[in-house]
Structure 1
Amino acid sequence: MAKRNNNILNIQDALKDFVESNKLDKGLNKVNVREAWSNLMGNGVNNYTTAIDLKNETLYVQLSSSVLREELSYGKDKMIAMLNEELGKELIKKIILR
């Protein structure tokens, strides 16, 4: 049985410790990236987005429209900056549109 810690922690620190000790960072980052994408891109892009996946600092976005994929490819650097700003940390270094 684990030893009880008598130090008083606020809930933010307790949750951060829980996430780190159970190695849940990657899963939470994937969820946060999906949420940030839907918030920043709006309904127009979200309607054509079929899959979003984050692997090793690369964001893979699958789109059902080749025209939209071509248009978004011109603004990859801006999208990376906006998504990282929304997430509050440098998670994404590259975007691949499929």
Structure 2
Amino acid sequence: MAKRLNNQSTVGDVLKQIIQVNKWQPGMDQIDVKEAWKNLMGNGVNSYTRNVVLKGSTLYVELTSAVLREELSHGKSKIIAMINEELQRDVVKEVVLR
């Protein structure tokens, strides 16, 4: 049986508990990382981005430009730091550019 919450809980706390109890965090992380990539990279990079997928703690980014892929490969650690800062927790530990 689910733990009963007291009436003093905030909506955010209740949502966090629902996500934790139902084990929805990996799916939420997937959505959050896609949104963070879109916001942080801007229109230039997004126009060459085909797909963004989070599997475990590895972010797979599929790009249509080999030149952009090479350029971004030099800043993988910065990309990881920017996304984790945007999400306010360590979600991404590695980036694979395809």
Q: Same fold (TM over 0.5)?
A: yes
* Secondary structure in structure 2 of the residue aligned to 1:12: helix
Q: For the residues of structure 1 that align with 2:3 and 2:66, how far apart are their CA atoms?
A: 56
Q: 1:13 to 1:45 in 2, by over 3 A?
A: same
Are 2:11 and 1:11 equivalent residues in the alignment? yes
Give CA-to-partner distance per residue, 1:28-60, whole Å, 9 cap, x none. 000000000010000000001000011121100
The CA deviation at 1:7 is: 1.5
Q: 2:54 corresponds to which letter in structure 1?
A: L
Corresponding position of 1:59: 59
Q: 1:67 to 1:20 in 2, by over 3 A?
A: same
Corresponding position of 2:44: 44
Q: 2:92 corresponds to which letter in structure 1?
A: I
| Equivalent pairs, count | 97
Q: 1:10 to 1:60 in 2, by over 3 A?
A: same
Corresponding position of 1:20: 20
The CA deviation at 1:5 is: 3.1
Percent identical among aligned pairs is 51
Unaligned runs of 5+ in 1: none
* Secondary structure in structure 2 of the residue aligned to 1:36: helix
TM-score (ref. length: structure 1)? 0.93
Corresponding position of 2:77: 77
Q: For the residues of structure 2 that align with 1:45 and 1:71, how far apart are their CA atoms?
A: 11
Which range moved further: 33-42 or 9-18?
A: 9-18
TM-score (ref. length: structure 2)? 0.93
